Structure 1
Amino acid sequence: MELLIGLICGAIGGNIAGGLLRNVNLGLFGNALAGVIGAGLAEKTLSVLGDDGLSSALGGGDAGVLWTHAATGAVGGAAVLLALGSIRNMLVK
């Protein structure tokens, strides 16, 4: 369940970043795909590092875990979109 929430938030985070930063926008589906990939990478990193400390900082318990995965997915999705958009811009010039 946490992974699904992270992936959905990654797609949303990718689209929000693409909307705010027009120069890295990859389109609706490109932003969502980059967001899902970034969220997956961020979720894997979070599971390797352990999410106990971050979960307790965001409220602890089940709510803290859900907020942790949502925030991780959104930030990871936005980060991958920024990276892919920047690479695309460098190759197009």
Structure 2
Amino acid sequence: MEFLIGLLSGAASGTLVGKLVSKLDQGTLINAAAGLMGGGLGGSLLAAYNVGSGGTGSLDLAGIISQIAGGGVGGALILVFVGIIRNVVAK
């Protein structure tokens, strides 16, 4: 369940960052896809290091907040990376 939270927050952050920073906007679908990948990666890294959760995959408040934060940051970072690469290749 926490992995799903990370994916959803990553997709939301990718879409939001894409709309807020016009140079990084790749369209809603690519923004969301990059956010999904980043959210999954960020959430998985947090879970691997037992950050913010009880270590057993429990759905406590700290686990949910850490997945939202990790997914959001991961989604935004992957979108920034994809945006920079696509802008460099387009030149």
Per the normalisation by structure 2, the TM-score is 0.88
Q: Match for residue 28 of structure 1? A: 28
Point out the more displaced range, 42-51 or 63-72. 42-51
Mapping of residues 10-25 of structure 1, within 5 Å: 10-25=10-25
Aligned to 1:7: 7
More deviation in 6-15 or 41-50? Answer: 41-50
Q: State whether structure 2 residue 85 is matched by structure 1 residue 91.
A: no
Gaps of 5+ in 1: none
| Identity rate, percent | 39
Alpha-carbon RMSD across the aligned residues, in angstroms, is 1.5
Q: Report the TM-score, using the length of structure 1 for normalisation.
A: 0.86
- Give aligned pairs, total: 87
Q: Distance in 1 between matches of 2:43 and 2:65?
A: 12
Q: Deviations over 1:17-71 (max 9, x none)?
A: 10111111110110000000001111121122221xx459xxxx81111011011
